[in-house]
Amino acid sequence: MSNLIKENNIFEEVEKRCQSFIESDPLINAYRKKEWEGYFHKAELLTEREEGIKEGEENKAISIAKTLKQMNIDDASISKATGLSIEEIEKL
């Protein structure tokens, strides 16, 4: 059987033609383009989600800082507890 395959190059020719068809087919190219767009869209959504999480964390730190200020806690301790700078705390 292996001798038959070696002697008969039709399998190689079929493989070449299939590969050529796949690489030049407009539908395949459109699919690849759509796939890439979907990939980058997911990446953008992840970035937006990360930004939203960061913003939420900052808002929570500000809320905690305001509460601690109302409790007459000193700015240095509030900064240490929330991660906010003393300048940010003074503006509250």
Q: Which stretches within the chain are classed as H helix?
A: 2-7, 10-24, 26-70, 75-82, 86-90
pLDDT digits (tens, 9 = 90+) for 10-49: 777 777 777 776 666 676 777 777 777 777 777 677 777 7
Range 62-87 average pLDDT: 91
User: What integer is the mean pLDDT of 79-84?
Assistant: 90
Structural domain that includes position 50: 2-90
Residues 82 and 64: beta-carbon distance below 8 Å? yes
Split into its structural domains, the chain has a count of: 1
At 22 the pLDDT is 67
Per-residue DSSP letter, 91: T
